[in-house]
A = this chain, B = another copy of it.
Amino acid sequence: MDIRKVPDDELRRLPVLAGLSDEQLARVRRAARLVELAEGEHLFEHGQRAERFFMLREGRIKLYRLSPEGDEKVIEIIRPGQSFAEAVMFMEGKRYPVSAQALVRSELVAFDNSVFLQILRESVETCFRVMAAMSMRLRARVNEIEALALQNATLRLVNYLLGELPEDAGESAEIRLPAPKNVIASRLSVQPETLSRILHQLCDKGLITVQGRTITVHDVPALRRYGGIA
């Protein structure tokens, strides 16, 4: 459980760390910790003071919000190789705007915000990388807002599936859902019952087959047509 076991080139695969000098990376590493979470364990909670941002090495993390009534909205499902919560260090108050919980046993690198801010002060290139990462996320959020406001449940699911397709998807392709269906449902802002019904409809239409967490798309272009443009 030592951060030293994480090789440099794995860290550098993170866009926001890719441009660092050996010396800078060493400083980042010195202030970083390896974190292991059991299934269901929380990494941080909404409103908590943020001292770190993260890279997921193994497992799956769910970022979500709770309503006062206890309803949950999954904002994003993090997969290995992704970083998250880098933007929080620039927010006034520096409080996490979401909660983070491990969906399965997970392993993460936790980076120290103040050390990273110090490095940003020395490295405009890294600033640019951070800004690029934040702008991507911003656009993703705007897309999500549009989806919630202008698309019905079926359209949101279809577009989600299209987004989950591998790059090299040909005529047909297989998708492995990154989480149980009830979590996917919350990510899409529908009830599990509704997700189940919509998947069933798409099966009836012959567009997909569902086998547990695996979805086979039989005719990608047809699904694309079905989903409109997005």
Contacts and interface: CB of A to CB of B under 8 A. Distances in A.
A132 to B, nearest CB: 5
Nearest to A87: B135
Nearest to A125: B121
Contacts of A65: 142, 146, 149-150
Contacts of A145: 73, 75, 141, 144-145, 148
Identical subunits present: 2
A71 B135 contact: no
A68 to B, nearest CB: 5
A67 B122 CA distance: 43
B90 A142 contact: no
B150 A149 contact: no
Given A124-B124, A127-B131, A130-B131, 11 more contacts: A67-B151, A71-B150, A90-B131, A91-B132, A92-B132, A97-B142, A97-B143, A124-B127, A127-B127, A138-B141, A148-B149
